[in-house]
Amino acid sequence: MRFCCLASGSEGNCTLIESSEQGETLRILVDCGLSFSLLKRKLLNRGILPEEIHGVFITHEHSDHCKGIVPLVKFLEVPVFMTYGTYLANKEMRKNLKPIFLSPHKKVLFKGLGINPFPVPHDAREAVALTVESNSFKIGILTDVGVITKTIRDELEDVDALILEFNYDDDLLSRSKYPEGLKKRITSMYGHLSNSSAIGFTKDFLQRERKVLVAAHLSNSNNSRNYVAALLNKLCHEKKTESFIADQDNGTPWINLG
């Protein structure tokens, strides 16, 4: 099983997961927040054609997670999964898509992969995060979340690899030119995860042996890649967990779980 972020941040998010078992290769996207031309280019850079994607899972209706899904389905007949709330919340998707609806906590078996959506506190209508499980490995994808709940901890208990939001540095955000209302939104229980919250969770998360941690959805204005790298290097090095930072333009390289 291997995966990569094609892009991560407020301009667009998309993660590609590939699993090869018993001679069959399956590929899914989690979120599709890139224009079709950009998606195509980023897939090709990693040796994949859009036609080789078998399904797309959308976590919520914010445009950085779903703005590319309608253009993609116009080009390619591909099953799309999302919650009913996410579908209702976006006019373009209501008009153009016939998704398969996800229920939080209800695992979907998709061609040999187990996809488990679970609810997250975020200012969207019915936002979920996901774990994706093959016979051998389990990956968690958790971004766009205000606080880490017990449900989230339980769902991520046994993942081998985690893509985790490191959205903002408290100090940079408080000093930024963002309007106060927006700052409040970002730091609220239904906003985004700060570096300090993410690192607090990471310390617990790394109590168990994990293969990979990817810091994702870093704010361009209110975070610093160097800060996040310093936080991760120290923790992950001690625990022998491989760490990456996903960025807006380059995402991550392919990350092999084995």
Binding positions for Zn ion, rule: CB under 5 A: 62, 64, 144
In the complex, least distance from residue 7 CB atom to Zn ion, rounded to whole angstroms: 11
Helical segments of the chain, H only: 36-45, 63-66, 69-75, 84-88, 91-96, 150-156, 170-175, 180-187, 195-205, 225-239
Identity of the residue, 2 or 62, whose beta carbon is nearer to Zn ion in the bound complex: 62
In the complex, least distance from residue 122 CB atom to Zn ion, rounded to whole angstroms: 6
Identity of the residue, 31 or 160, whose beta carbon is nearer to Zn ion in the bound complex: 31
In the complex, least distance from residue 113 CB atom to Zn ion, rounded to whole angstroms: 23
Contact of 102 with 128, CB cutoff 8 Å: yes
Could you give the 3-state DSSP secondary structure of residue 10?
coil
In the complex, least distance from residue 245 CB atom to Zn ion, rounded to whole angstroms: 16
In the complex, least distance from residue 58 CB atom to Zn ion, rounded to whole angstroms: 11
Instruction: Kindly provide the b/e burial profile for residues 45-82, where b requires at least 16 CB atoms within 10 angstroms of the residue's own CB.
Output: eeebeeeebbbbbbbbbbebbbbbbbbbbeeeebebbb
Contact of 83 with 126, CB cutoff 8 Å: yes
Contact of 4 with 46, CB cutoff 8 Å: yes
Identity of the residue, 26 or 216, whose beta carbon is nearer to Zn ion in the bound complex: 216
Identity of the residue, 64 or 133, whose beta carbon is nearer to Zn ion in the bound complex: 64
Identity of the residue, 31 or 169, whose beta carbon is nearer to Zn ion in the bound complex: 31
